[in-house]
Amino acid sequence: MTALLSVEGLGISFGGLKAVNDVSFTVRPGEIVSVIGPNGAGKTTLFNMISGVYQPGSGRVVLGGENVTGMAPHLLARRGMSRTFQNLQIFQSMTVLENAISGYHLKERGPVLADLFGLPSSRRRAAEAQAGARELLARVGLDRAAEREAGNLSYGALKRLEIARALALSPKILLLDEPAAGCNAVETEEIDHLIAEVAKSGVAILLVEHDMKMVMRISNHIVVLDHGEKIAEGDPATVSRNPAVIAAYLGTDAGTEAAHADG
Amino acid sequence: MRLSAKSATLLVLIALVALSPILFPSGYYYRVGALIFVNAIAVTGIVILTGYAGQISLGHAGFAGIGAYACALAPVHLGLHPSLALVLGAAISGVIAFLVGRPILRLKGYYLGVATLGLGILVSMVLNNERQLTGGPDGMEVPDLGLRGLLKDAGLDLTNGQFWYFFCGLALILGAWLALNLYNSPTGRALRALHGSEVAARTVGIDVAQLKLRAFVISAVYASVSGSLLALQNKFITPDVAGFMHSIEMVTMAVLGGVGSILGAIFGAAVLTLLPQVLTVFAEYEQLVLGLVMMLVMIFLPQGLLPSILRKVRGKGE
Ligand SMILES: Nc1ncnc2c1ncn2[C@@H]1O[C@H](COP(=O)(O)OP(=O)(O)OP(=O)(O)O)[C@@H](O)[C@H]1O
Ligand SMILES: [Mg+2]
């Protein structure tokens, strides 16, 4: 199958620092591609460029055959891209349900006058979005917290809420930046299953995760970054044997985990 | 059955407008009540802009000025009925808000505050300087709306104070109803979302610049209608309506009452409209006392008066 997303020679500098330099890879529908690398390797920066939050300094992002380099995030959302954030970006003072509904924005939006006058068309759009959001909350185990103010939830619950909100867009490609960070073993396994399930339905997944066991278990393909450069890529077994990868991780917790995960 | 927040707010508001007159010791209080409602309409617009969407405007009195002077000028120069002049003023305010807001709202941060400050000053300067048209700082007369006469012919004889009290009360209820509809609608949710996290809002597909612009235009129309009603009930208008102090007053009323809730903002409008009436006793110290009250509220009740009071009351009930 042809690539849904292809990243070609992407790079960006902050001041003198080359945060990401000449990184290329592709993601196909239904595939789980993980981006790993030590802290500060440039993983989040790469996500920010792909999702239009940062303007790339060089290179191209091609989505479904269309050049979408530097395109605004809300336009990428219309083209089927959706993401979560490493540092939570939750609508804190809205309820859990409202957070999930906001993921339906593109489906529920309509004429502003209909919204002001509370016309039946406006209510129907909102009701449909709400029904979908409730289903998604059930899927991530948050249905019972639906009416609570999001700001009061635990970190792990908010991570799952972000995933639900991202799934609400019915994306073609989903970017997950450390979805399991701060989650306990049980929650991590649940997220693990959820990601696999979503990929199975044909959604392309681009994943950044420090939990090496999880990465090795669910990825089809792994891209390794270090100091902004791609130092290796391949399937989990190949990557974890790669001497450059082991060297990059040496001395860090993740390095030992990576080595163990292979054995 | 549990009342939705929207129905509860509307019921409280309708009860307040309908029942308050029972407590009025004299006809003068109808006039104070009408002033509160007029201010509350503008503040409801600020709630949409600042409370929902998280944007600050320091020049909304400019739109009140446009609404007020539309009612003074359009009947004389265009032969429009004053009620249509109100609509024309609202339309002009909306268009100006759109044209001014579009380039600014693409930028982040406090540009809107600074730019609206400039817009307000500009409107106020034009009103002050175009003496031939507006009478300058001396102000000008505004024609009668004529509705009270019609009601009288129909058998409903209200005093001038009573008429404006109920007319502005109804306008406020309508304005609150629209704002409450908006709150739980797709548009309102998108506004609150971009207030919470702009980057997350963008990634779920919200066109942040466009949504902010809509909130800005809607709130400008509220301010314009408020200015029109003020002009029509006073039958006289001066450029003060567009002055910087009036802009600050609107924002302060909203923040004082609690910018997140319609009822809170209306409460803020009531307090800040009443306070100067009470303080006429210490006329010399009015500004001082006002400033002091405001500082104390901001320090001790940062969420605004009404939400903080409600929380205290509920806390005791538990
Ligand atoms: N907006 C920015 N301005 C300046 N420097 C930045 C910016 N964003 C990221 N950087 C720098 O770019 C480098 C890569 O950061 P990035 O957050 O992408 O790393 P990461 O791989 O996601 O790390 P982590 O595993 O800790 O999340 C870091 O040195 C960081 O300080
Ligand atoms: Mg990161």
Q: Say if the Cβ atoms of A74 and B208 lie within 8 Å.
A: yes
* pLDDT at site B106: 77
CB of A37 sitting under 6 A from ligand 1 = yes
Distance A208 CA to ligand 2 centre (A): 8
User: And the tokens for A169?
Assistant: 């867009």
Q: What is the Cα–Cα distance from A79 to A66, expressed in whole angstroms?
A: 10
Q: What is the dihedral of CA B16, B50, B273, B85, to 10 degrees?
A: -80
* Residue A102 to residue B204, Cβ atoms within 8 A: yes
Q: How far is CA B298 from CA A44, B253, B260, in A?
A: 38, 12, 15
Which pLDDT value is given to residue B286?
Answer: 67
**pLDDT tens digit string along A72-125?**
999 999 999 999 999 999 999 999 999 999 999 999 999 999 999 999 999 999
pLDDT band for position A58 (cuts 50, 70, 90)? very high
Residues of chain B in Cβ contact (below 8 Å) with chain A: 178, 181-182, 184-190, 192-193, 195-197, 199-208, 214, 218, 260
Ligand 1 mean position to A43 CA, how many Å? 8
* Minimal Cβ distance to A77: which of B182, B195, B203: B203
Region A145-174: mean pLDDT is 94
β-strand pairing of A229-234 with B140-141: unpaired
CA distance A51 to A5: 11
Confidence at residue A211, expressed as pLDDT on a 0 to 100 scale? 87
Mean pLDDT score across all residues of chain A: 91
Question: Hey, where are the domains in chain A?
Answer: 1-80+171-263, 93-168
Cα-only R_g, chain B: 19
- Rounded CA-CA distance B41/B265 in Å is 10
What value does the mean pLDDT take over residues A163-181?
Answer: 95
pLDDT for B23 equals 87
Distance CA A176, CA A178 (A): 6
Among 3.90.980.10, 3.30.1490.20, 3.40.50.300, 3.40.50.720, what is the CATH number of A1-80+171-263? 3.40.50.300
Yes or no: say if B201 and A73 are a contact pair by the CB < 8 Å rule.
Answer: no
Question: What pLDDT is recorded for position A6?
Answer: 95
pLDDT at A263 over 50: no
* Tens digit of pLDDT at every position of chain B (318 positions): 566 888 889 999 999 999 988 888 888 889 999 999 999 999 999 999 999 999 988 899 999 999 999 999 989 889 889 999 999 999 999 999 999 998 888 776 667 778 888 889 999 999 988 888 888 888 888 888 878 778 888 888 888 889 999 999 999 999 999 999 999 999 999 999 999 999 999 999 999 999 999 999 999 999 999 999 999 999 999 998 998 888 888 888 888 888 778 888 888 899 888 887 777 766 677 677 767 777 777 777 767 777 777 776 665 443
Nearest C-alpha neighbor of B119 from the set B32, B50, B59: B59
**CA–CA dist A134, A166 (Å, integer):** 14
Count of A–B CB contacts within 8 Å? Answer: 107
Q: How far is B139 from chain A (nearest CA, A)?
A: 35
Domains of chain B, each with CATH number or no CATH: 5-20+28-275 (1.10.3470)
Instruction: Considering every ligand atom shown, identify the ligand nearest to the alpha carbon of residue A210 and give its number.
Output: 1
**Contacts for A246 with CB less than 8 Å, ≥ 6 apart:** A240, A255, A258, A259
- Given a contact cutoff of 8 angstroms between Cβ atoms, the answer to whether B251 and B57 are in contact is yes
pLDDT at A244: 85
In 3D, which of B137, B135, B134, B119 has the Cα closest to residue B57?
A: B119
pLDDT of res. A1:
59
**Cβ–Cβ of B218/A93 closer than 8 Å?**
no
**What does the alpha-carbon distance between residue A201 and residue B151 come to, in Å, rounded to a whole number?**
66
- Between strands A221-226 and A32-36, the pairing is parallel
| A206 SS3 class | strand
Instruction: Look at residue A259 in the predicted model and tell me its pLDDT.
Output: 47
Angle (deg, nearest 10), helices B186-196 and A120-139:
50
Phi/psi region, residue A226 (left: phi>0; alpha: psi -120 to 50; beta: rest), is beta
**What residues of B are in contact with residue A113 (Cβ under 8 Å)?**
none
> How large a percentage of chain A has pLDDT more than 70?
94
Q: Are B205 and A108 an interchain contact pair (Cβ–Cβ within 8 Å)?
A: no
**Three-state DSSP state, B10:** helix
Single-letter residue type at B106: R
pLDDT at A138: 95
Tokens 């009478």 sit on residue:
B135
